[in-house]
Chain A
């Protein structure tokens, strides 16, 4: 069974750093792209970027390039999303969906449960 289990809720202050995680299981981790998606409270979905765990090929949405870092650890089959300096506007729930098949041009089929991040100013 494919599962993506995300790390727990975070409460941070502006300017702090943060890394959240997405632990994958039930499939060959290196064969499928993983995206990150943001959803601010009461708002829609925003696509942030993707990574291919096989070779760590990473692409970012123009809106998020330079704002976050996406990475993977193949040894633990875990994807990570990192901020070096949080802003109040980063308050949101973050999801990590695994793509359909092995294509980068594909939507997320299996989704983590979401990690709520609250940033206070």
Chain B
């Protein structure tokens, strides 16, 4: 099973700052990597898929880069509504075992 490791576990940042979140895969997932945002009591929301494609309706301040085993989610100029937990997910394996990372919590500094 592919293991996804996200770093850092928690990040304290101020509104307006630029943020970089990391997701590392234990083996190549090509570009089959997605990023989700989750707020308390709500389902996850898809932000990015295929490593760098923004999902419908997602702000351009969210961007994704990477391929193979190293991926990054960048949030430019953090807004108050961006404080949440962020997960990466790979969907490359077959038979499928589409694992998630353990999450990164963005907190207000």
Contacts and interface: CB of A to CB of B under 8 A. Distances in A.
> Chain B interface: which size bin?
20 to 34
Interface string A15-26: 000000000000
Interface in A61-78: 61-62
A45 to B, nearest CB: 4
Interface string A94-115: 0101001000111111011110
Contacts of B32: 105
Contacts of A104: 94, 96
Interface of A: 35, 37, 44-47, 49-50, 59, 61-62, 95, 97, 100, 104-109, 111-114
25 contacts: A45-B36, A45-B38, A45-B89, A49-B96, A61-B98, A62-B1, A95-B44, A97-B43, A100-B46, A100-B49, A104-B94, A104-B96, A105-B94, A106-B49, A107-B49, A107-B89, A107-B98, A108-B44, A108-B46, A109-B46, A109-B49, A109-B55, A111-B44, A113-B43, A114-B43
